[in-house]
Amino acid sequence: MRQSLQRWYREHGRDLPWRRTRDPYAIWVSEVMLQQTQVATVIPYFQRWMQTLPGIPALAAAPQQQVLKLWEGLGYYRRALNLHKAAQILMRERNGEFPRDLEQVLALPGIGRTTAGGILSAAFDQPLPILDGNVKRVLARLVALQQPPSQCLPLLWQLSQQLLDPVQPRAFNQALMDLGATVCRPKKPHCGRCPWQADCSAYNRGQHQQLPMSAPRASRPHKQIAVAIVLRGKEILIDRRLESSMLSGLWEFPGGKIEPGETAAECVVREVKEEIGIDIEVVAPLATVEHVYTHFTVTLIAFICRYLGGEAQALQCSEVRWVSPAELSEFPFPGANQKLFPHLHAWLAEHGNTFEHT
Contacts (Cβ under 8 Å, ≥6 apart) of 175: 5, 6, 8, 9, 13
C-beta separation of 137 from 145 below 8 A: no
Q: Give the bridge partners for 301, in sequence order.
A: 226, 288
Cα dihedral 277, 281, 287, 292 in deg (nearest 10): 30
Query: Mean pLDDT over residues 320-332, rounded?
Result: 96
Query: Mean pLDDT over residues 235-250, rounded?
Result: 91
The terminus-to-terminus CA distance of the chain in angstroms comes to 76
| Residue 233's CATH number | 3.90.79.10
Of 147, 176, 204, the last residue of a domain is 204
Whether 233 and 306 share a structural domain? yes
Query: Mean pLDDT over residues 220-231, rounded?
Result: 95
pLDDT more than 70, % of the chain: 98
Within a domain: 217: no
Q: Give the bridge partners for 305, in sequence order.
A: 230, 282
Question: Tell me: the pLDDT tens digits for 273-289?
Answer: 999 999 999 999 999 99
Interatomic CA distance for residues 165 and 161, integer angstroms: 9
Question: Tell me: the pLDDT tens digits for 84-137?
Answer: 999 999 999 999 999 999 999 999 999 999 999 999 999 999 999 999 999 999
Question: Tell me: the pLDDT tens digits for 192-210?
Answer: 999 999 999 999 999 999 9
| Res. 82 pLDDT band, cuts 50 70 90 | very high
Whether 23 and 141 share a structural domain? yes
pLDDT more than 90, % of the chain: 92
- Within 10 angstroms of residue 194's Cβ, the number of other Cβ atoms is 21
Instruction: Specify the length of the chain in residues.
Output: 358
Average pLDDT over the chain, rounded to whole?
A: 95
Task: Give the burial string for 265-279 (b: 16+ CB within 10 Å, else e).
Answer: bebbbbbbeebbebe
Interatomic CA distance for residues 295 and 299, integer angstroms: 14
Cα dihedral 318, 109, 82, 29 in deg (nearest 10): 170
Whether 175 and 32 share a structural domain? yes
C-beta separation of 90 from 97 below 8 A: yes
Within a domain: 358: no
Within a domain: 236: yes
Whether 198 and 240 share a structural domain? no
| Residue 165's CATH number | 1.10.340.30
Whether 44 and 148 share a structural domain? yes
Q: What is the model's pLDDT at position 358?
A: 37
Please give the residue that has the higher pLDDT: either 220 or 86.
86
Model confidence at 266: pLDDT above 90: yes
Of 157, 174, 204, the last residue of a domain is 204
Q: What is the model's pLDDT at position 354?
A: 57
Q: Which active-site residues does the annotation give? A: 31
Contacts (Cβ under 8 Å, ≥6 apart) of 141: 184, 189, 200, 201, 202, 203, 207, 208, 211, 212
In the chain, the amino acid numbered 124 is F
User: Picking from 23-37, 170-184, 343-357, which range would have the lowest pLDDT averaged per residue?
Assistant: 343-357
**Of the candidates 238, 141, 247, 254, the residue with the CA atom closest to the CA atom of residue 187:** 141
Rounded to the nearest 10 degrees, what angle do helices 24-33 and 113-124 cross at?
A: 150
Whether 157 and 128 share a structural domain? yes
Model confidence at 357: pLDDT above 50: no
Helices within 201-340 (DSSP H only): 201-204, 264-276, 335-338
Of 136, 169, 204, the last residue of a domain is 204
Q: What is the model's pLDDT at position 246?
A: 84
Interatomic CA distance for residues 213 and 40, integer angstroms: 26
Whether 259 and 196 share a structural domain? no
Model confidence at 220: pLDDT above 90: no
Whether 156 and 85 share a structural domain? yes
Whether 196 and 236 share a structural domain? no
H/E segment holding residue 115: helix 113-124
The whole-model pTM stands at 0.90
Whether 314 and 187 share a structural domain? no
Whether 62 and 161 share a structural domain? yes
146: helix, strand or coil? coil
- Structural Rg of the chain based on CA atoms: 24
Whether 66 and 195 share a structural domain? yes
Interatomic CA distance for residues 277 and 272, integer angstroms: 7
Determine the structural domain holding residue 285 and report its residue range: 222-351
**Of the candidates 60, 67, 50, 52, the residue with the CA atom closest to the CA atom of residue 90:** 60
Total of domains in the chain: 2
Interatomic CA distance for residues 73 and 192, integer angstroms: 36
C-beta separation of 38 from 207 below 8 A: no
- Within 10 angstroms of residue 107's Cβ, the number of other Cβ atoms is 14
Q: What is the model's pLDDT at position 316?
A: 95
Q: What is the model's pLDDT at position 30?
A: 99
Within a domain: 357: no
**Of the candidates 136, 150, 149, 142, the residue with the CA atom closest to the CA atom of residue 191:** 142
